[in-house]
Structure 1
Amino acid sequence: MPLFKKNKRIFYSEHAFLYLASGVILFLISCAIFPQWIAPYAPTKMFSDAIMQAPSASHFLGTDYFGRDIFSLIVYGSRTSLFIGFLSVFLAALLGMLIGSISGYIGGIVDLLFMRVIDILMTIPGMLLALAFAAALGPSLMNIILAITISALPGYARLMRGQIISLKDRNYVIASKSIGVSSIVVFFRHILPNAYSPLLVMATNGLGTSILLGAGLSFLGLGIVQEIPDWGTLLSQGRGYLSAAWWIATFPGLAITLFVLSANILGDSFRDFLDPKKKIR
């Protein structure tokens, strides 16, 4: 009995950060889906008698230079920021899986052409590549998502290609082909189910990076011009008031940091869960 209690304490201590990170992500997703239930005020409501007010009981994260409640702005701004992050990761993983699968399974000239394009994209840092595409396409929601997707795509394509190449010469794949099973059936039944797990782990870890890239583009003025600012725009708007009203930029920055950190913790835990070498505890 004492041993069971000891193991139970170890289990909870080891997973405390995972539970905390999951709670943070679920709360921020709830803010994005149901902002009107969580935010105490409308994001456009201005309190003329509380302009640049420090954190207080009525505005516990303070107000900005228009008298808007900072917490309400962060809650409503989470919708755009999380939408950019989740959709760009989904598209990058999907396109990367498609390109990597075709390149690794077919091989030959197709593999050569696809991988040379991927190599060119990988020589450019992700932030710089996203910045170039966002500047060329112009500030809009879909353009930012496209820019982040293109910058993240090479990593997913490379990972998936390596997985396919390592699996397509396995004995069970060769045996399936030897009895007349078509290449398409072999791919979808025997190769793809064993290849996508690392891609899911990479996508989970890449979620925080995508949020950070989206916030960075908004911070540099390449974000979405809209009535309700996202986290990066809030951070950019508050940088000029750091000496007079530090809370305007600090709390949106903390929201970005918390989400990125929580996404990374969740990704690491997901990787450990899918690792066959890890012992079940």
Structure 2
Amino acid sequence: MREAATVKPIWRMKRAVAGHHRAFPRIAVSRLFVYAAALVFLFLVVCALVPQWIARYSPTDMQADQILLAPGAAHWLGTDYFGRDVFSVIVYGARESLLIGFASVLVGGLSGGAIGALSGYFGGWVDRVLMRVIDVVMTIPSVLLALAVAAALGPGLWNIILAVAIATVPNYARIMRGQILSIKNRSFITASRSIGATEPSVFFKHILPNSLTPLLVMAAVSVGTSILTGSGLSFLGLGVLKEIPDWGAFLSQGRGYLTVAWWICTFPGLAITLFVLSVNVIGDELRDTLDPKKRRS
């Protein structure tokens, strides 16, 4: 019995140490993905901000003798049906695509957050009216709602931003309302009121700052989804009508040449995929960092 009592803890200790050592490769791989995602994200942001530093050619430079050239040394990603360099068009088109993603998240997050904050803080008939409206909007799939709004407003950059933003408002409103409800009756809020703090002071200094973390995490994760939705609307012809197409519009323009020039569709789609993937990885890491319940052990 004594031997069994002494052997068991040693066996458990060895197993725990072995598991601890096996955790190191998983953590290293996870960090590697995060760093790779951050590099992709930064590169695409630089492309959007200063495309002339990255692109080798002008995106409007049409060369009739270089139409539909395959990827090579002169044109890394080939040329399109106008003789434009595909890499340059993707780099310059990143500005519109990223603007759709970030601006729609900003508009949707602020609008939905304000609705959720009003609903959760005041309660009563204000909560019932606002949440019933949100419930009605949530019955419509977000992509279908964005498509309907974009079709009603017509093609254009700000119209597509507004369409994507409206589709995301219910999610932000629900999250913000839940946070406000969970915080507004806590002991430190009651203590603030008991020492004479006004209601605006209690809301803006105590309730609102402690409710923003889940909203910020959701906003970070939603950037990729917003870009994907915006690119889908552009693909359907409801996006930006400009000489330099965004990724979704460029993907749509190249689908007619898929059998003869696969690179026109492949590389814009790959740019969308890489950006959405990088944003999701960064968003997951941000969620794990800001939420103590989800932090890695």
Following superposition, the deviation at residue 188 of structure 1 comes to 1.4
Residue 112 of structure 1 aligns with which residue?
Answer: 128
Equivalent residue in structure 1 for 2:236, among 216, 220, 240: 220
| Residues 173-193 of structure 1, C-alpha deviations (whole Å, 9 max, x = no match) | 112112221111111121111
Equivalent residue in structure 1 for 2:106, among 80, 90, 94: 90
- Which letter maps to 1:127? V
| Residues 92-119 of structure 1, C-alpha deviations (whole Å, 9 max, x = no match) | 1111111111110001111111111111
CA distance in 1, matches of 2:263, 2:30: 33
CA distance in 2, matches of 1:104, 1:7: 41
CA distance in 2, matches of 1:247, 1:98: 44
Equivalent residue in structure 1 for 2:75, among 42, 59, 75: 59
Following superposition, the deviation at residue 278 of structure 1 comes to 4.9
Q: Where does the alignment leave 5 or more consecutive residues of structure 2 unmatched?
A: 1-20
The SS at the match of 2:293 is coil
CA distance in 2, matches of 1:128, 1:279: 35
- Which letter maps to 1:137? L
The share of aligned pairs that are identical, in percent, is: 62
Higher Cα radius of gyration: 2
CA distance in 2, matches of 1:21, 1:160: 28
Residue 36 of structure 2 aligns with which residue?
Answer: 20
Asked if residue 80 in structure 1 is aligned to residue 102 in structure 2, the reply is no
Residue 173 of structure 2 aligns with which residue?
Answer: 157
Give the 5 Å matches for 1:68-217.
Answer: 68-217=84-233
| Residues 150-195 of structure 1, C-alpha deviations (whole Å, 9 max, x = no match) | 0011100110000000111111111211222111111112111111
C-alpha spacing 1:212/1:31, structure 2 compared with 1 (3 Å):
same
C-alpha spacing 1:269/1:279, structure 2 compared with 1 (3 Å):
closer
- Which letter maps to 1:131? L
Equivalent residue in structure 1 for 2:266, among 219, 233, 250: 250
| Residues 55-96 of structure 1, C-alpha deviations (whole Å, 9 max, x = no match) | 111011011111110000000000000011101101111111
The SS at the match of 1:270 is helix
- Which letter maps to 1:231? W
Q: Where does the alignment leave 5 or more consecutive residues of structure 1 unmatched?
A: none
Residue 6 of structure 2 aligns with which residue?
Answer: none
Equivalent residue in structure 1 for 2:284, among 248, 268, 272: 268
Following superposition, the deviation at residue 11 of structure 1 comes to 4.8
CA distance in 1, matches of 2:295, 2:65: 60
**RMSD, aligned CA:** 1.8
| Residues 237-278 of structure 1, C-alpha deviations (whole Å, 9 max, x = no match) | 111111111100000000000000111101100000012135
Report the more deviating stretch, 251-260 or 188-197: 188-197
Give the 5 Å matches for 1:33-52.
Answer: 33-52=49-68
- Which letter maps to 1:255? A
Following superposition, the deviation at residue 18 of structure 1 comes to 0.6
Deviating beyond 2 angstroms after TM superposition, the runs of 4 or more aligned structure 1 residues are 5-14, 277-281
Matched residue pairs, number? Answer: 279
Residue 18 of structure 2 aligns with which residue?
Answer: none
Q: Could you state the TM-score of these two structures normalised by the residue count of structure 2?
A: 0.90
Following superposition, the deviation at residue 13 of structure 1 comes to 2.8
Report the more deviating stretch, 154-163 or 91-100: 91-100
Residue 240 of structure 1 aligns with which residue?
Answer: 256
The SS at the match of 2:60 is coil
Following superposition, the deviation at residue 279 of structure 1 comes to 5.4
